[in-house]
Amino acid sequence: MSMLYQRVAFIGLGLIASSMAHALRRGGLAGATAGTARSAETRAIARDIGLVDRVYDTATEAVQGADLVVLCVPVGAMEDVAREIAPHLQPGATVTDVGSVKQAVIDAVAPHMPDGVHFIPGHPLAGTEHSGPRAGFAELFDNRWCILTPQESCDPDALARLEQLWRGMGANVDLMDAPHHDLVLAVTSPTPQLIAYTMVGVADDLRRVTDSEVIKYSAAGFRDFTRIAASDPTMWRDVFLTNKEATLEILGRFTEELFALQRAIRQGDGALLHDYFTRTRAIRRGIIDAGQDTDAPDFGRVRH
């Protein structure tokens, strides 16, 4: 894979930006990399570990001369960043983002983009429950999907180059419109997230009764909820606040299903429960067949 951009600038140096920086390096996809983060602490760590070629104290300095700028901050911070960098963007540059919600990011960023700058929103469907500049690794995007939600007026060459970049970082690329993205993703990401928060919250409330037994016996399904529920609180707060409608729609459906299962349990309707669980098992099979998770028992966890 050859170099696609002369200079890539990251605004925000957390899990996603650091993984992209490693993946760019692995693929030789960028001539030079630059970055900045909000806190001096994060910038110091990034300098220390040589995450990008040059770490700047401000976003305005970081974007100077960049032909690709990647906004890697929480969704709620996108507008302030866009406003700050807009006057310093190089004509012809592409600006993209990695936010987990797309319509709200378009509303926040697009109005600030100067003529001649290509804004192409994006969302890599890959992550872990870890945050910060040390959390990234080059393989994060391998065989995962990155969804781009270009607007109709998007420049085809700029779009093709960004698609190539994501492929170079190991990802598969899909294009869709932003509202569709927000609805589809509400099913796969925020709603399970909220359910995990609730489940872990219920266990926490019960702790008084169970003492530390919830933790001690957590190798049951509960443990898998705790991984999701340990994700970055700022990121997820912003996702719920900015993808309200789609999340509420999916949660409404979830509540109906939950009531149906509750009734089946109360009425001893074993056939309904068995059919339901058979259907969900097939979905897990589909995810494995699509190469999106491992077939190993217990997700391939190593026993200590």
In the complex, least distance from residue 34 CB atom to ligand NAP, rounded to whole angstroms: 14
Which residues are bridge partners to 145 per DSSP? 172
Region near ligand NAP per CB under 6 A, out of 119-127, 155-163, 210-218, 241-249: 119-127
- The site that binds ligand NAP (CB under 6 A) totals a number of residues, namely 27
Measured CA to CA, the distance from residue 201 to residue 213 in angstroms comes to 15
Region of 15-23, 177-185, 243-251, 260-268 interacting with ligand NAP (CB under 6 A): 15-23
| Residue in 9, 16, 20, 148 binding ligand NAP, rule: CB under 6 A | 16
| Pairing relationship of beta strands 68-71 and 54-55 according to DSSP bridges | unpaired
CA distances to 5, 169, 197, 262, 294 from 28, rounded to whole Å, are 10, 10, 39, 54, 28
Q: Which residues in 67-223 belong to E strands, given as ranges?
A: 68-71, 94-97, 118-120, 122-124, 145-148, 172-175
- Specify the residue, 90 or 131, whose C-beta has the smaller distance to ligand NAP: 131
Q: How far is the CB of 147 from ligand NAP (least distance, A)?
A: 10
What does the alpha-carbon distance between residue 9 and residue 64 come to, in Å, rounded to a whole number?
9
User: Is residue 192 near ligand NAP by the rule CB under 6 A?
Assistant: no
**Among 9, 14, 112, 242, which residue interacts with ligand NAP (rule: CB under 6 A)?**
14
What span, in angstroms and rounded, lies between the C-alpha atoms of 99 and 75? 6
- Using CB under 6 A as the binding rule, the residues of this chain from 57 to 116 that contact ligand NAP are 72-75, 77, 81, 98-100
Contact 204, 230 (CB under 8 A): no
Residues lying near ligand NAP in the complex (CB under 6 A): 12-17, 37-39, 42, 72-75, 77, 81, 98-100, 123-124, 127, 131-132, 135, 232, 235
